[in-house]
Structure 1
């Protein structure tokens, strides 16, 4: 049971990094990013490829963050001035392009067979000690990101991006260029996704293109919506709720043993979708949203 809880805590921390990046982009700035998993994929493959070729893992992690930001830069130049719905479509297309690239460029990514034997970040001690250290490292990244996010929210930069979210035209009328601030937010959120992807690759030890489908992005969207958009506490609560439903629904088989094993995956998705619908109806502002508003 301890090993199971440690594993769930590590995956929750990885999802939290992803959600913090998306909350910065959408919750604080209004950028509708449906391609967040693309940067997650870039970070995972960058660190996996480099570390399997003998590059020290700290450098691989740094490269994953840097390459995820580098991938976001041309995307931002092309699409950052687009309307919100068009930007969402472009980012979704970007994530699919990334997945197709890692599928087809087998000379680099090993194609559909994926990359196996990705080195663990911590190699000393037994399996349980490695798992605990990995959990600690993941939570340390989450804590640093949360503190940085809180400082951003309270800074002039944070007030500016919130103003862009609320009324971009008003910001432009004051002589400020929203595109510059939105680009910075896109890069920062992509960096967090790249780091989370690298941690995921080293924790799982194996990655393939099928692990980076758009559904991962929408799971993160579920988390920030259920927790409360634009709130750091809401992001944390939303990830915990998401993990509760993802893992709790695994035990549906014990409650309803008559359900065929093949159908259980679809039922799990249905349970998670129902939870999102109920949150949207009864708590549209999210669990940690303003309790004075409906």
Structure 2
């Protein structure tokens, strides 16, 4: 039981990191990023492939963050001058391009066969001890990420990106260039997603392209919406609620045993989607949002 709870906590913290990146991009700046999973995948494959080449993990994680962040830079240059809806489409297309490249470039990523044998964070430990150590490390990184985004939100830079979110034209009238600030935010958020991907790869120890589908981005959006858009605490609480929904829905099989295992996957997604609809209807500002507003 302890091992199961530790595993859930680790995956939940990975989703917290993803939610923090999206909170910075969408919650604070208003960037509608539907391709968040693309940066997640880049971080996972970067760290995994470098580790398999013998690079120490203390270097593979920064490399994952840097490469994921750098991959966001050209996207920002090309698309951030577009309207929000076009930017959302571009980011969604980017995530699919990343997945297709991972699938096609077999010489590097082993294609649909995936990358097995990825080193764990603590190879010298066994069983629950390894899980506990991994949990402690990812928890520490998550706390640092929360602190960093809170500092950003309370800084002059944070107030400026919030102004861009609320009224971009007014920011332009003050002589500021919103595009450059959006690019910076996109890079930082992508780097956080890259770190989350590195943790995921070294915890699961086996990654394939099908693990990085748009559904992952949808789950992160759910966490941000349920927790409260623009709230750092909302990213944390929303990710926790998401894991409760995802894991709780696994037990639907006990309630409706006549549904096959294959169909149950679709039922689970439907149940999670229904819960999101209920949240939007009855608590649109999220659990950590302003209770005086609807």
| Pair in the same fold by TM > 0.5 | yes
Category of TM-score, reference length = shorter chain: over 0.9
Q: Distance in 2 between matches of 1:103 and 1:259?
A: 32
Q: Distance in 1 between matches of 2:172 and 2:264?
A: 51
The structural deviation recorded for 1:258 is 2.5
Are positions 1:170 and 2:166 aligned together?
Answer: no
Q: Paired residue for 1:283?
A: 283
Q: Paired residue for 2:73?
A: 73
Q: Paired residue for 2:191?
A: 191
Runs of 4+ that moved beyond 4 A: none
Deviations 1:106-147 (A, max 9, x none): 000001100000001111222211111111111111100001
Deviations 1:12-55 (A, max 9, x none): 00010000000100000000000000000000000010000111
Deviations 1:218-258 (A, max 9, x none): 10001100111000111111111100000000011112223
Q: Distance in 2 between matches of 1:204 and 1:12?
A: 14
Q: Distance in 1 between matches of 2:286 and 2:67?
A: 33
Q: Paired residue for 2:132?
A: 132
Superposed, 1:160-239 pairs within 5 Å as: 160-239=160-239
Name the SS of the counterpart of 2:175 in structure 1. coil
Q: Distance in 1 between matches of 2:280 and 2:288?
A: 13
Name the SS of the counterpart of 2:249 in structure 1. helix
The structural deviation recorded for 1:260 is 2.2
Are positions 1:83 and 2:77 aligned together?
Answer: no
Q: Paired residue for 2:21?
A: 21
Q: Distance in 1 between matches of 2:218 and 2:281?
A: 18
The structural deviation recorded for 1:261 is 2.1
Q: Distance in 1 between matches of 2:147 and 2:32?
A: 23
Q: Distance in 2 between matches of 1:21 and 1:274?
A: 25
Q: Paired residue for 1:152?
A: 152
Q: Distance in 1 between matches of 2:260 and 2:159?
A: 52
The structural deviation recorded for 1:263 is 1.7
Gaps of 5+ in 2: none
Q: Distance in 2 between matches of 1:70 and 1:156?
A: 24
Deviations 1:75-124 (A, max 9, x none): 11111111100000000000000000010000000011000000011112
- How many residue pairs end up in the alignment? 294
Q: Distance in 2 between matches of 1:62 and 1:9?
A: 23
Name the SS of the counterpart of 1:3 in structure 2. helix
Q: Paired residue for 1:255?
A: 255
Measured on the aligned residues, the alpha-carbon RMSD in Å equals: 0.7
Superposed, 1:2-41 pairs within 5 Å as: 2-41=2-41
Q: Distance in 1 between matches of 2:187 and 2:220?
A: 18
Name the SS of the counterpart of 1:207 in structure 2. coil
The structural deviation recorded for 1:64 is 0.4
Q: Paired residue for 1:117?
A: 117
